[in-house]
Amino acid sequence: MKLKAHLTVGWENSENISAYDLHNNALKTLNYSESLVKSITHDSIYEVYGVDKLFRRGSKGFGDIKKFFAALTEDTNDHHTLICHVDVFAYSFLKYAKNFDFLFEQPEYYDKNFKEKYIVAWRNKIDTYEKFELFGNKKLLQVEEKAYLSLREIATRKSARDEWRLIASLIMSGPGTLEEIGQELNIGYTLKPRILKPFINKGFVNMMNDDMFIINIRFMPIVLYFLRELLGIDLLGGIEKWIK
């Protein structure tokens, strides 16, 4: 089976066929690999969504996503191409950590204007924030300046290390429940009232209907900037090194 990566932003919650559902259904059978491949080829499935949901750094680990793709790559049917929708941050992390990109045809696939709409636009915003900090440049939209200064208030506290570990987790691993995030960061019962609450109150983190917490994509460039400056984690720079 040929595999192609379709990069996405915003952690899709699509009603289309998900990798997570295919994986869980195959786990219920006696032969995981055979069942998974058969469900894809016999049902003429050519796109699967939310591949990143099979991975969670720390709590869930790499087990599910490795099992899923091991089964697909073992299939010798070169006439079937499967497009795998995966979040760009999860893909980038897995690319560096596990050579994940070697599983797919190159180059990676994404929608028209994807790079300009997200990667280039975010970089331009981050450059603006950098100039603001260096020179007091006020070339920020009024609403954006308010959000930036609001997050800056949290960011500049020396005690805010757990807060930024939380943000890094929600970007690289995607949305998570309190239990998943707590296991990943080894943070106990104070996670929601002490660490999540400031981000929720200021709109940087949203809670979904299924008790999952998710980064507000609108503020992604601000969050990426502070992660780089405070923890030295340059997630956008890592993507820029390989995206075409």
Mean pLDDT of 49-74: 84
Per-residue pLDDT, 6: 93
CA dist 230 and 105 (Å) reads 36
Of 39-43, 115-119, 122-126, 140-144, which range is least confident?
Answer: 140-144
Mean pLDDT of 125-142: 79
> The tokens 């006696």 sit on which residue?
30
Kindly state the DSSP code that residue 50 receives in the 8-state scheme.
-
CA dist 198 and 205 (Å) reads 9
CA dist 152 and 222 (Å) reads 9
Per-residue pLDDT, 230: 86
pLDDT reading at 118 higher than 90: yes
Per-residue pLDDT, 55: 84
Encoded amino acid at 144, one letter: E
Confidence grade of residue 59 (pLDDT, cut at 50, 70, 90)? low
Beta pairing partners, 207:
213
pLDDT reading at 47 higher than 90: yes
Higher pLDDT, 190 or 68: 68
CA dist 125 and 220 (Å) reads 10
Confidence grade of residue 143 (pLDDT, cut at 50, 70, 90)? low
Neighbours of 119 (CB within 10 A): 18
Per-residue pLDDT, 111: 85
Provide the token pair at 113.
């204007």
According to CATH, the topology of domain 115-240 is Arc Repressor Mutant, subunit A (1.10.10)
Confidence grade of residue 240 (pLDDT, cut at 50, 70, 90)? very high
Beta pairing partners, 176:
213
The closest alpha carbon to 114, from 5, 9, 228, 225, belongs to: 9
pLDDT reading at 232 higher than 70: yes
Per-residue pLDDT, 53: 87
Per-residue pLDDT, 158: 75
Percentage, residues of the chain above pLDDT 90 = 43
Angle in degrees, CA 15, 57, 109, rounded to 5: 50
CA dist 242 and 176 (Å) reads 27
- 181-207 per-position pLDDT tens digit: 888 888 765 666 678 888 888 899 998
**Residues spanned by CATH 1.10.10 within the chain?**
115-240
Mean pLDDT of 60-65: 82
Higher pLDDT, 5 or 58: 5
Provide the token pair at 236.
């956008």
Per-residue pLDDT, 190: 66
Are 68 and 104 within 8 A, CB to CB? Answer: no
CA dist 181 and 32 (Å) reads 28
- 72-95 per-position pLDDT tens digit: 998 887 789 999 999 999 999 999
Total-model pTM: 0.88
